[in-house]
Amino acid sequence: MTRQALGLGAALLVLASASLARAARPEPPSETPVPPSSYDDYVGPYDYGGAVLTVTRDGDHLMAQLTGQPALEIFPKGKDVFFWKVVEAEVTFVKDGNGKVVKAVHRQGGQTIDAPRFEWPAVVKVDPQRYDDYVGKYDYGQGRVMTIAREGNGLFAQLSGQPKFEIFPKGEAEFFWKAVRADVTFVRDAGRKVVKAVHRQGSASLDAPRVE
């Protein structure tokens, strides 16, 4: 992974600029009645590359939240097709031969994004006191630093110039983001001191020495 390639939480599309969107978008399409029970098929996270779209069901409403933006309701346009009312965008949920949703195809402003559906790792129980071992700064190159901080019983990571996000344990020294599909492992030396972080995102990895 080139050190310039990391994009933690860098949203690709603006879905939340409601005031601007209402002024600019044409009349939204008509809604097509769909049994809300079918919404369960679409619930889950979708990989947008530098961000994640999380789809949830709230009673009879289907909600979609892109990393760093509020949750917004999406409305049925047709079979497996939904649209936003606050911005001119739509998403089609694609199913495999067994009827399971495997990806979302997002269309907005002439762009099309194929976003595979995936499952988050299980969050394991780790004594938050252990988090203190990982607190510090890690060199991601090109003048960028990942700052790891403990806040109460949570561990947070912030890359230079980007928002702070909580990271979740999938092992004693392995953590993952829910804001983006990436994870990090903290590596110790022979004396059990944490000396670097190994960041994995997509098919690449990056060794980030601890500097503080």
Mean pLDDT of the chain: 88
According to CATH, where is 2.40.128.50 located in the chain? 18-116, 128-209
pLDDT confidence of 33, banded at 50, 70, 90?
A: confident
According to DSSP, residue 124 is labeled P
Instruction: Report the range of poorest mean pLDDT among 11-20, 106-115, 191-200.
Output: 11-20
Q: What dotted CATH number matches 128-209?
A: 2.40.128.50
Pairing of strands 52-58, 174-177: unpaired
CA dist 163 and 134 (Å) reads: 19
The encoded tokens of residue 155 equal 């561990």
Tens of pLDDT, residues 73-82: 999 999 999 9
Tens of pLDDT, residues 63-104: 999 988 889 999 999 999 999 998 889 999 999 999 999 999
Residue type, 199: H
Q: Are 183 and 177 in contact (CB under 8 A)?
A: yes
* Whether residue 9 has pLDDT greater than 70: no
Domain 18-116 classification at class level: mainly beta
pLDDT confidence of 19, banded at 50, 70, 90?
A: very low
Mean predicted confidence (pLDDT) in 36-57: 94
